[in-house]
Structure 1
Amino acid sequence: MSTLTTYEHPLNERIRTFLRLEHQFGQLDHFMVEDDRRTTRAAIAALLDIIAITARADVKNDIIKELDRHQVTLGRMTNQRGVDPEALEQLLGDMRRALEGIQNIPGPIGHTAREDEFLKGIAQRSSIPGATCSFDLPHFHHWLTQSSEVHQDRLDHWLHDLQPAMEGIRLILMLVRSSGSRRKVLAEGGFFQEALDPQLPAQLLRVALDAEADIFPEISGHKNRFSIRFMNAEPRGRASQHNQDVDFRLTCCAF
Structure 2
Amino acid sequence: MPELQNPLLFEHPLNERTRTLLRISHLFEQFEYHLPASSHWQSRAAVQALLDIVSILGRADIKQELIKQLEQQKQSLERIADNPGVDQIRLRQVLEDISRMSERLFNTTSQLGNSLRKNEFLNSIAQRAPIPGGSFEFDLPQFHYWLNLPHTERVMQLDDWRHEISLVQETTDLLLGILRNSNVFRSRNASEGFFQQSLDRNRQVDLIQVMLPAESFLYAEISGNKHRFCIRFMESTQWEQPEQTGQEVTFKLKTCAI
TM range (shorter): over 0.9
- Counterpart CA distance in 2 for 1:167 and 1:49 is 17
Report SS of the residue matched to 2:103: helix
Counterpart for residue 132 of structure 1: 135
Amino acid in structure 2 at the alignment position of 1:143: W
Q: Per-residue deviation at 1:154?
A: 2.8
Show CA shifts across 1:199-238 (max 9, x none): 1010000011111011101111000011111111125422
Q: Per-residue deviation at 1:37?
A: 1.3
Counterpart for residue 59 of structure 1: 62
- Counterpart CA distance in 2 for 1:100 and 1:32 is 29
Q: Per-residue deviation at 1:194?
A: 1.1
Counterpart for residue 194 of structure 1: 197
Contact in 2 for aligned 1:113/1:159 (Cα 8 Å): no
Further displaced range: 53-62 or 146-155: 146-155
* Counterparts in 2 of 1:159 and 1:101: CA distance versus 1, 3 Å: farther
- Counterpart CA distance in 2 for 1:86 and 1:180 is 19
Show CA shifts across 1:128-154 (max 9, x none): 111111112111000111233432343
Contact in 2 for aligned 1:184/1:250 (Cα 8 Å): yes
Aligned residue runs from structure 1 range 91-110, under 5 A: 91-110=94-113
Show CA shifts across 1:222-255 (max 9, x none): 0001111111112542212211111111111111
- Counterpart CA distance in 1 for 2:239 and 2:194 is 23
Gaps of 5+ in 2: none
- Counterpart CA distance in 2 for 1:220 and 1:226 is 6
Report SS of the residue matched to 1:176: helix
1:144 to 143, 147, 159: 147
Show CA shifts across 1:155-184 (max 9, x none): 233223311111111111111111122111
Counterpart for residue 48 of structure 2: 45
Contact in 2 for aligned 1:186/1:246 (Cα 8 Å): yes
Contact in 2 for aligned 1:110/1:159 (Cα 8 Å): no
Amino acid in structure 2 at the alignment position of 1:78: A
Contact in 2 for aligned 1:105/1:161 (Cα 8 Å): no
Report SS of the residue matched to 1:217: strand
1:180 to 183, 191, 211: 183
Report SS of the residue matched to 2:98: helix
Q: Per-residue deviation at 1:103?
A: 2.1
Counterpart for residue 71 of structure 1: 74
Show CA shifts across 1:72-128 (max 9, x none): 222334343322322222222222222222222232111111111111110111101
Counterpart for residue 125 of structure 2: 122
Q: TM-score, normalised by structure 1?
A: 0.94
Q: Per-residue deviation at 1:186?
A: 0.9
Counterpart for residue 36 of structure 2: 33
| RMSD of aligned residue pairs (Cα, Å) | 1.6
Contact in 1 for aligned 2:36/2:155 (Cα 8 Å): no
- Counterpart CA distance in 2 for 1:22 and 1:57 is 17
- Counterpart CA distance in 1 for 2:191 and 2:127 is 49
Amino acid in structure 2 at the alignment position of 1:157: D
